[in-house]
Amino acid sequence: MRYRRLDLNLLVALDALLSECSVSRAAERLCLGQSAASSALGRLREHFNDPLLVQVGRRLEPTALGLELLPKVRAALALTREIVDAPLNFDPANCDRHITLVASDYVADVLLPTVSRVLARIAPGIRLSLRDMPVPRDGDVVSEALDYRRSDCVIVPQRRLNPAYPHVPLMTDQLCCIVCAQQPEFTEQLSMADYRAAAHVVREFADGHNLAMDAMHLHELGIERQVAVTVESFVLMPQFIVGTARIATVFRRQAQRFAQRYPLRVHPAPLAFPEAVQVLQWHPYQEHDPAMQWFRGLLLEQAALLDQPSA
């Protein structure tokens, strides 16, 4: 490749020739024949209109221009190596990056605080912006998040996966029920009759659509709940359960956290809900981005640790 009439490959030869001050040693360093190294020196002399190396007694010495060029060539080659080796040498400790992640408040509650603590410890230059799931204009949450909202990655339930974007399973969970521990109702396991008769707290999007897994599965089964309160966030649900005989259907990991913060009892759901799989997706143009590859690996690593006692 040429830049301003110079074959850029000759910069490597120039570095070797000026460093070794010997055509034969430069040829060995470059794994070239001596005639090829001599030819490279000739082309460099022609381009710079300077001998670059001159005979002084039995040895070659750099000219004034050669001495001036050597540190610049070394710096240019070092920067080139840094660019070429960037995917191999990514260092999170020195990464200065703003990453935007779209996820439900369930994922934000159970996974992302731990991820944030790891970032603070080993990648303090990475700034994380969390965005709630958007209301999709065309029914596709993934393209809404990645294309319209210009987010770096999105975590969605598997049923919302868009196969046009790279993806990987991130975490699984099961649906269960929470009730107020101070109420005499539901001290034993919930029956289907209890579930149908009780008032419920459910999550809905801001536009009034309920796209949660429990709502969709119950709709498929033809089961209707008596909805007393709708909220836009999973984390608000416990506050509308405490002090009432209401029920909320939530994910197990979040239910366990709720029970540590509020006077709640966690019950198995009275019917078999499908396993809840959360999928991580990102834009194809970021497939080989070193920082994003590292960040996605961190998400997968921390998700795998969720059920361990230390998590």
Nearest to 250 by CA among 220, 221, 213: 213
- Which pLDDT score is estimated for 311? 41
Domains in the chain (CATH in brackets) are 2-85 (1.10.10.10), 93-153+286-307 (3.40.190.10), 175-268 (3.40.190.10)
- Dump pLDDT digits (tens) for 31-42: 888 898 899 889
Contact 73, 11 (CB under 8 A): yes
Is 109 in contact with 235 (CB distance < 8 Å)? yes
SS3 (DSSP) at 9: coil
pLDDT in tens, 226-275: 999 999 889 999 999 999 999 999 999 999 999 999 999 999 999 999 99
Each residue of 32-58: b (16+ CB within 10 Å) or e?
beeeebbebbeebeeeeebebbeeeee
Task: State both tokens at 192.
Answer: 């289907």
Rounded CA separation 237/228 (Å): 11
Question: How far is residue 193 CA from its own chain's centroid?
Answer: 43
pLDDT digits (tens, 9 = 90+) for 132-145: 887 776 778 898 88
C-beta of residue 300 within 8 angstroms of C-beta of residue 280: yes
CA within 13 Å, CB half, 138: 8
pTM equals 0.69
How many whole angstroms separate alpha carbon 249 and alpha carbon 48? 76
